[in-house]
Amino acid sequence: MITMEHVCKSYKIAKRNAGFGEAVKALFHRDYEIIHALNDVSFTIRDGEMVGYIGPNGAGKSSTIKILSGILTPDCGTVLVDGRIPYKNRIKHVKEIGVVFGQRSQLWWDVPVIDSFELLKDIYSIPDPRYQQSLEELTELLNLAELLRSPARQLSLGQRMRCEIAASLLHRPRILFLDEPTIGLDAVSKLAVRDFILNQNKTHGTTVILTTHDMQDIEALASRIILIGKGRILMDGTLDDIKKGGGNIDETVAELYRAYDIQ
């Protein structure tokens, strides 16, 4: 179970107007702006739920994921994931979670994918039999057999994403965070990734939290949707709640953004 209560997180950034004179001025005096990435955010996610976390760019999606995965420390509020405080018991916490950053790779570029997996086995201290079992299962479900022997740099984006997802699941995490997992993938790979995530949730009861801009991902995967904008939770409901008006989901979401003025 994941609970976030009254969580806030803000950043200080320097700002400067364009122009040469302004640049010289900034040398001596600098204005700062406080950005409230998260402003009193609260929600609860039960075990085995699949939650789509949506909102425009800069709404606070990444900050939430990073707090839940122990990367960031919130300014205030309480966070509990299966009874652990992520940023306090980092090492214990991250053993139980898997994270996929869609835009970054965790595979070693120049060696066969399987070598990266072997290293992960050591990093997560996965016992031999369990590693073999996980590997076999993931290889079959994600169709990796052909890919494991090639270096990551030779794989297509779709092939690599399948390997990335497998890499994040080798240690059988109970919670999986997916940060834009289908970005830039072709249709076939997208479908394969979605099918696989659904399957993991069904067979292992993995809790899945997914951020994406692809509304088809949300339709296919999320039974519950949390909408965030300007650091606040604006809506927390099911897909049907959002689709009340019916019609195309992209348009509905765009309308929502406009209605809440968070574009």
Partner 1 sequence: MKKYLSFFRLRFAMGLQYRAAAFGGIATQFTWGAMEIMIFRAFYRSDASAFPMSFSATASYLWLQQAFLAFFATWMMDGDIFDSIVNGDVAYELCRPVSIYNMWFSKGLSTRLSRAVLRCFPILTVAALLPQPYGLNAPASPMHFVLFLLTLILGLLMTVSLCVLICILAFFTISPMGLQMVFTSMTDFFAGALIPLPFFPENVQRVMELLPFAAMQNVPLRIYGGSMSCYEMQKAVFLQIFWLTAITFTGKMLCRLAAKRITVQGG
Partner 2 sequence: MNKIRKAVRLYFHYISINIRCAMQYKTSFFLTAAGQFLVSFTAFLGMFVLFQRFSRVEGFTYSEVLLCFAVMLMEFSLAEMFARGFDRFSGMVRTGEFDRVLVRPQNEIIQVLGSKFELTRFGRMLQAAVMFMYGITKSGIQWNFPKILTVIFMLTGGTAVFFALFIIYAALCFFTLEGLEFMNIFTDGAREFGKYPVNVYGPKLLLFTTFIIPYALIQYYPLLYILGRRTEPFFPFLPLLACWFLIPALLFWKFGVRHYKSSGS
Q: Which residues bind partner 2 (CB under 8 A)?
A: 11, 57-58, 61-62, 66, 69-73, 90-92, 94-95, 97, 99, 101, 103-104, 106, 108-111, 115-116, 118-119, 122-125, 151
Asked if 16 touches partner 1 (CB under 8 A), the answer is: yes
Cβ atoms within 10 Å of 210's Cβ, excluding its own: 25
Q: How far apart are the C-alpha atoms of 47 and 175, rounded to whole Å?
A: 8
Going through 82-145 in order, the beta strands assigned E by DSSP cover 97-101
Any contact of residue 24 with partner 1 (CB under 8 A)? yes
User: Where does the chain show beta strands of DSSP type E?
Assistant: 2-15, 31-45, 50-54, 76-81, 97-101, 175-179, 207-211, 224-229, 232-237
13 is an interface residue for partner 1 by CB under 8 A: no
Nearer CB in complex with partner 1: 6/30 = 30
Strands 2-15 and 31-45: antiparallel
Name the segment binding partner 1 (CB under 8 A); options: 19-27, 163-171, 172-180, 192-200: 19-27
Binding window for partner 1 (CB under 8 A); candidates: 2-10, 23-31, 87-95, 170-178: 23-31
Residue 91, interface with partner 1 (CB under 8 A)?
no
Please choose, out of 18-26, 136-144, 230-238, 240-248, the segment that lies near partner 1 by the rule CB under 8 A.
18-26
Q: Which 3 state secondary structure label does DSSP give 234? A: strand
Q: Does 153 bind partner 1 (CB under 8 A)?
A: no
3-state helix vs strand vs coil in the chain, percent to 5: 40, 25, 35
* Residue 24 contact partner, candidates partner 1, partner 2, none, CB within 5 to 8 A by sort of partner: partner 1
Which residues on neighbouring strands pair with residue 233, listed in sequence order? 228
